């Protein structure tokens, strides 16, 4: 059962595993034909109240979803663009970043197929291609990060460990959006597939909104569930058509 679309929604969309299918390497993904156009249609439908909320950088979103340009939270809330035509505002680079990067670059060479993604404000260790190394990789990351003090937070996702500044989440990003136009006063709806999206789910539900889980991962917060990215795209297309059609019929 899908949620009944409303014209006063504010949509918050995770990317990997939600809008697009996962790949073994972060740059190995494919942007489905028509997805940028669909995102622009959703922007029109909801008067600009559509945001991408992802571990990806905002620069990556703009480049890969061009010509679509949306409000966005990148790197799990470490950078924000509150309006589609606004500027992305990043936080300062954390003090631990360079040291951690150097140590992980050296340590992770022990496991071919493990990939360290270098983001401006965080790091992500991907092992989707070699899941048999999961426990060893996680243990190594924990040993290294424990030496860096209390400002570092680990977040384990599906075949990835995100290393980020503590206190920044998709939930904190959603709260910022809901304080500003065009999101303020709307009913928030968050779509996500991974543990990193739980904070987003919690933020929209605290504001009276809806959490839509994508894929099979168990969660106690979901109000609705979609099978995967293909169903997400199909459903979002129907939401845009139905909501826009209803709005035009009432004019």
CATH number of 220's domain: 3.40.50.1000
- At 247, the pLDDT band (50, 70, 90 cuts) reads very low
**Are residue 137 and residue 106 in the same domain, yes or no?**
yes
The tally of CA atoms less than 13 A away on the side-chain side of residue 224 is: 16
Helix (H, G, I), strand (E, B) or coil at 20: strand
* End-to-end C-alpha distance for the chain, whole angstroms: 29
**Are residue 103 and residue 78 in the same domain, yes or no?**
no
Which residue(s) pair with 12 in the sheet? 51, 190
**Are residue 213 and residue 125 in the same domain, yes or no?**
no
Q: Establish if 120 belongs to a structural domain.
A: yes
Quickly list DSSP for 81-93: ESSTTS--EEPPP
- Predicted local distance difference test score (pLDDT) of residue 155: 81
Look over the chain and give the mean of its residue pLDDT values, rounded to a whole number.
89
**Are residue 175 and residue 72 in the same domain, yes or no?**
yes
Residue given tokens 């990193």 in the structure block: 196
Q: What domain count does the chain have?
A: 2
Of 122, 149, 165, at which residue does a domain stop?
Answer: 165
- At 146, the pLDDT band (50, 70, 90 cuts) reads confident
Of 115, 149, 165, at which residue does a domain stop?
Answer: 165
Active-site residue, selected from the candidate residues 8, 14, 24, 85: 14
Whether residue 14 lies in the annotated active site: yes
**Are residue 72 and residue 104 in the same domain, yes or no?**
no
Q: Establish if 2 belongs to a structural domain.
A: no
**Are residue 87 and residue 176 in the same domain, yes or no?**
yes
DSSP 183: T
Q: Establish if 1 belongs to a structural domain.
A: no
**Are residue 55 and residue 173 in the same domain, yes or no?**
yes
**Are residue 174 and residue 242 in the same domain, yes or no?**
yes
Pick the residue with more confidence: 243 or 232? 232
CATH number of 124's domain: 3.30.70.1020
- Predicted local distance difference test score (pLDDT) of residue 202: 97
Question: Does the pLDDT value for residue 91 go beyond 80?
Answer: no
**Are residue 146 and residue 184 in the same domain, yes or no?**
no
Question: Does the pLDDT value for residue 24 go beyond 90?
Answer: no
Q: What is the mean pLDDT of the segment spanning 45-49?
A: 97
Q: Establish if 48 belongs to a structural domain.
A: yes
Torsion sign (Cα): 16, 202, 68, 238:
positive
- Predicted local distance difference test score (pLDDT) of residue 163: 86
**Are residue 50 and residue 87 in the same domain, yes or no?**
yes
Q: Establish if 42 belongs to a structural domain.
A: yes
**Are residue 198 and residue 238 in the same domain, yes or no?**
yes
Task: Domain of residue 128: give its range.
Answer: 97-165
Question: Does the pLDDT value for residue 44 go beyond 90?
Answer: yes
Of 115, 139, 165, at which residue does a domain stop?
Answer: 165
Q: Establish if 177 belongs to a structural domain.
A: yes
For residues 3 and 15, what is the distance between their CA atoms, to the nearest angstrom?
20
């Amino acid at each position: 059962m899908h949620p009944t679309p409303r014209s006063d929604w504010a949509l918050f969309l995770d990317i990997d595993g939600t809008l697009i299918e996962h790949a073994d390497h972060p740059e190995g993904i494919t942007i489905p034909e028509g997805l940028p156009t669909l995102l622009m249609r959703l922007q029109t439908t909801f008067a600009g109240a559509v945001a991408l909320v992802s571990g990806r950088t905002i620069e990556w979103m703009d480049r890969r979803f061009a010509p679509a340009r949306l409000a966005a939270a990148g790197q799990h809330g470490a950078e924000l663009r509150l309006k589609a035509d606004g500027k992305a505002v990043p936080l300062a680079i954390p003090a631990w970043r360079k040291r951690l990067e150097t140590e992980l670059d050296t340590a992770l060479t022990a496991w071919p197929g493990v990939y360290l993604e270098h983001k401006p404000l965080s790091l992500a260790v991907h092992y989707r291609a070699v899941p048999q190394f999961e426990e060893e990789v996680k243990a190594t990351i924990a040993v290294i990060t424990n030496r860096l003090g209390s400002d570092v937070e680990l977040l384990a996702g599906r075949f990835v460990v995100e290393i980020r500044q503590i206190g920044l989440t998709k939930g904190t990003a959603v709260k910022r959006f809901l304080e500003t136009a065009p999101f303020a006063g709307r009913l928030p709806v968050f779509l996500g597939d991974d543990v990193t999206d739980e904070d987003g789910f919690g933020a929209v539900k605290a504001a009276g909104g809806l959490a839509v889980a994508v894929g099979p991962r168990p969660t106690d917060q979901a109000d609705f569930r979609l099978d995967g990215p293909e169903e997400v795209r199909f459903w979002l297309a129907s939401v845009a058509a139905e909501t826009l059609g209803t709005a035009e019929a009432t004019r």
